[in-house]
Every structure is written in C-alpha cells, then in structure tokens.
Structure 1
C-alpha cells in the first residue's frame, strides 16, 4: 500500500467520524476546497460516490460504508505493524484528542496535559472540556476522562483513581440543626442539591445490602456546578453529597464533617474511556499510563469510623 492510499484512508475515516468536510478540513489543516477536491479524487479513482453531501453534513453511501470498513481495518493493521517494529524505540507522536469535564478538566487535567506535553513533545494534544459527556466516536476523540460508570457499552475503560462519595456538612450546620442518625432523617434536613446531567432532581441513591435505594430530599439551594455546592456546604447551608476527591482536605481540617459515614453511596471513581483497545495508539497508551502514574495517590483518604460532633437531629 502506497503512502497516498494510507493518507486517503486516514482522511476518509476522519470525514466519516466528523460527518463534515469542513470539520475534516480544519482537523487536517486543509482548506475546504482542498478537502472537497481530495474526496472527489478518491471517488473518481474508485468510480463510485462514497458520500451524500448537504450544506451542513455528509452521510455515507453503501459504497462509502464498505470503503470505511476496509479503511479502518487496513489503517489499524498498518498502525499495529509500525508500532510493533518501531514503537519500542521511538517516542509517541501524532495527534491525540482528549475530552474531560468542564471544571475538573480546567483545574486538574489541563496542568497534567502541560506536563505530558513537556515529556512527549512530538505528541500534538487537542484538549476539549465539555459540561456533558461526549460521543467519542462521533467527536473523533481518542479518549475521555470522566467520573462514574461506563456511559457506553461500546467503550473500553481503565480506572485511574478510586473515589468514594460521602454525605457531609459543616460543623455550624450540624450544631444548629443536629446530626442525622439514620438515612431517613435526611428527608427532614436542608440538603444542597447538585444537579448533574439527567439525574432525577433531589433523588439521592445509597446502597442497602446489594441493592440500590433512593431517597427524595429537598433544600433551597441547588446548582449544576460542583464547586458552587461545595462552597455552600462550607458556608453552613446544608448537607451535601461530594466525592472524596473534593472532601478530603476539608474533612481533615475540620471545616466539614461526615454525616452517616457508614452509609455506602455509589462511588465516583475516575476513569479514562476509549473506543477500542485493539487499535490504541502508542500516544494514547502513553497518556493513559501518565494519568495513572499522576493519580496514584492524589489525596489522603477520608477516614471513616470516627464519630464526630453535632447533636441529635431535633426534626426540622
């Protein structure tokens, strides 16, 4: 296979993922007319139309679906062959597209991308942060960094940090309103609600044995931003669910106390997701290994089992 054919395969795979000629042109640093001409030359060589074009997007014809299937297979085999021969003695290189959540991506992952770029200068990293999970295949991302369970069964995942969730509140809130003695007491307390994606509003889940139970809570404050609701809890406005990553330093300093610490909540482990392990590039593997190394011990775990202050709930 000559280099022109290999380049055409990569171009068409990207076009199929983005469903946009202008998007493929931007990703490859081409002008839109150059991308259109390149597609035309491929179709002319094959004697078949590969895509249906509109002003906004493209869709694959049956011939285009066949071309994409073989292009993915052949391109993947070429990558595997090249990395098997030269991967052990060359540094990772090429384009790596990474997605992460908005706040966590900005404050935590972006500095790590900076470190990674210094270690692997031949890797070009395109880093995007979004408030909602993205479709890795549709968005042509190599990997995404997210808290929580696998969002799509088509993806593979690697856990890079264990991260338990806890109920918590400030000492001044507990001194004023009392400490819940059992999970049902939360229904009578002021709860701060973190609205996330499509989760049911004000419904908190917890484990009872092997089953997941749900409890309806209420409060006067809610937000879709984790830093905001944490600040409200520190200010004494109510009880909040937050992860160990967010809580550890405040629990250790005494600014927050665990509430019902023996209650087990669904965890918020940190994962890196990727479309397939079979054709994973050396640069993607290097980035994932780098993250695992950096998150090996990111905080001192929250200590569970010690009873902390507060009086019994008087019932609100």
Structure 2
C-alpha cells in the first residue's frame, strides 16, 4: 500500500533533478532519501526511478505514482482551502509572482506586512523577469505590468502606470532637438526586449495631432529594465520606461521627459489571479493590502511635472 505520506515524498522526488536536490528540499541527507525510496520500492515491489545515469528518470510506474500523487495533493489542498473559506480564515500557503524590480520595491514590503498580520499564512514570492499567464496554474496572485495575457484571464487593476519617454539632461544638451516622434530616428534609443513584443515600434498619440508610429533603431538593448534605466541616467540615449521605475529620477533631475506633449501606451499594474481553487481568503486579503499600498500610486507623488 502507498500512503499519503509516500505520495508527498515521491512528489518531491519527481519534481527534483537529483536525489541531492530532493534531500535539500526535504531538509534531510541524501542517504536518508535513498533509503526511503528503496524501502518504498521494496514494499510495492516496483522500481519507480531509474538511477543508472547522472539524472533521475521516472519509470512508467514512477510516472503513474507521480500523477496520482499530484491529484491527491491538489484534492487535499482544495479541501483545506474550502474549509478555511467556510470560516473566512486567512491561512494556508500563498503563492505570489511579480517582476524583479517592481516586486522588490513595491510587492516585497507588502508581503512582509501581510505575513506579520497573518501568522497562519506561509508565503512564496517568486520574482521573474516577465511573470505572465504561464504562471497562473502555479500561483495565486501574479503582479503584472502592461497588457494582461489571454482574454479569459481573471485580471484586476491595482494602479495606473504610464510609460514615459526620457533621457538625461547631458544627453539632451548635446544631441539634436527632439520636437516630434520622427526626430527619434536620429537619436540613440535604448530598449528592453520582453517576450516576443515588438519593442522597436514606438507609438505616440497627441491631443491635437494625428497619432504617429516610429520604427526606432536601438543602439543598446537588454532584457533587464533596470539596466536600461541606468543607461539612460548615464547619458546613453532615450528610453521608454514605466513611470514607477523613473519617477525618482525625474523628480531629482537625473532624467527629463522627452516629447512631454505626446503620450505612449500605458502599462498599468494589474493582478492576474490563479483559478485552481477559486479566490482564497488569503489571496483576497493580500490583494486588498497591496491595492491599499498603491493608492495613491507612490510614483505619482514623485514625478516632476
């Protein structure tokens, strides 16, 4: 017979690249993991993992045990979630994903406060370059900046966030004037490459003029928004950044707005919600605390207009 504890143990093994990794996750020694696996295989009379190579490979029977273990684990979590919601208890494990920069500055402090306010909750905060819809199945709350993913995704807006064209005063003083979007074709442009987005096509709208679209030629690019912001501050060229990211630099004069009368598409801060077991009490409580921390948006108090 295989117990629920056996299934939990084997799930950790199935999600690990090696016995050593599994041992670290379970906070035990590798020999202890090996002995427990051998005892489990001996008890059921079936080999579950092929350990002949450098990496662990599940046998067909191991795949079967792992799949059933996942079903049982999710069913147990769903039951616990349902019972907690019946009594409106804020408990259980909360999984949050957020972008690196925004997550460190605006999400992590709220997670800290939330954990102190609700000691019955455990939290995992995953910071990624571009957290998106692909994390929905494994997260309760995904903080995302910009247009959300699939149209059927559950999304709630947390705070407004414009994107701003900016450059350092030194760069603007030494470069040719930028009076219309087309002038950017003669300038050094800095871009962040994100997913499959066409980051070289910059769109502009004006209150009294026709919209303009410019295909810029990037001088420097990276997949890290903080790096682009740093390049702009040091005078490397013109960048399009979220206002939350450059508000302090604009207020301090390290950066200046470019084409201030033109607007580019906004990138609001939104939360995409996991749908595994419905909206949990802990996710609802965390969203309320996060939304409160962003109202009014901290960056709106810093931008020099």
Is TM > 0.5 for Structure 1 vs Structure 2?
yes
Q: Which residue of 2 aligns with 1:206?
A: 203
Greater shift after overlay, 276-285 or 29-38? Answer: 276-285
Structure 1 residue 167 displacement after superposition: 1.6
DSSP-derived class of the 1:167 partner: strand
- Indicate conservation of the 8 Å contact 1:170/1:233, yes or no: yes
Aligned to 2:81: 83
Correspondence for 1:305: none
* Alpha-carbon distance between aligned partners in 1 of 2:18 and 2:288, rounded to the nearest angstrom: 32
Aligned residue for 1:12, secondary structure, equals helix
Partner of 1:113: 111
Counterpart of 1:66?
Answer: 64
In structure 2, distance between residues paired with 1:30 and 1:158: 41
Q: The residue matched to 2:241 in structure 1 has which SS?
A: strand
Aligned to 1:259, the other structure's residue is in SS state coil
Q: In the alignment, is the contact (CA less than 8 A) between 2:46 and 2:61 conserved in 1?
A: yes
SS in structure 2 of the partner of residue 240 of structure 1: strand
1:197-236 Cα offsets, whole Å, 9 max, x none, are 667998344379xxx96723244x6565534432443454
Aligned to 1:6: 4
User: Is there any run of 5+ residues in structure 2 with no aligned partner, and where?
Assistant: 206-211
Q: 1:101 to 1:64 in 2, by over 3 A?
A: same
Gaps of at least 5 residues in structure 1 are 303-307, 309-316
Cα distance, 1:159 vs. partner?
5.3
Residue 188 (structure 1) shift: 0.4
1:207/1:93 CA distance change after superposition, 3 Å: same
Residue 164 of structure 1 pairs with residue 162 of structure 2: yes
How many residues align? The count is 296
Q: Is the 2:48–2:61 Cα contact (8 Å) retained in structure 1?
A: yes
Matched with 1:37 is 35
Change (3 A) 1:232 1:76: closer
| Corresponding residue SS for 1:241 | strand
Q: Provide the rounded CA distance (Å) in 1 between the counterparts of 2:184 and 2:214.
A: 12
Which of 271-280 and 67-76 deviates more? 271-280
Q: Structure 1 residue 242: deviation in Å?
A: 0.5
RMSD of the alignment, in Å?
4.5
CA contact (8 A) 2:136 2:273 kept: no
Equivalent residues in 2 for 1:1-316 (5 A)? Answer: 5-54=3-52, 56-87=54-85, 88=87, 90-94=89-93, 100-127=98-125, 129=127, 145-148=143-146, 160-171=158-169, 173-191=171-189, 193-196=190-193, 203-206=200-203, 215-219=215-219, 225-251=224-250, 255-259=255-259, 261-265=261-265, 267-270=266-269, 276-278=275-277, 286-299=285-298, 301=300
In structure 2, the CA distance between the partners of 1:278 and 1:97, relative to structure 1 (3 Å rule), is: closer
C-alpha offsets along residues 26-51 of structure 1, whole Å, 9 cap, x if unaligned? 22222222222333343344433333
1:300 offset after TM fit, Å?
Answer: 5.2
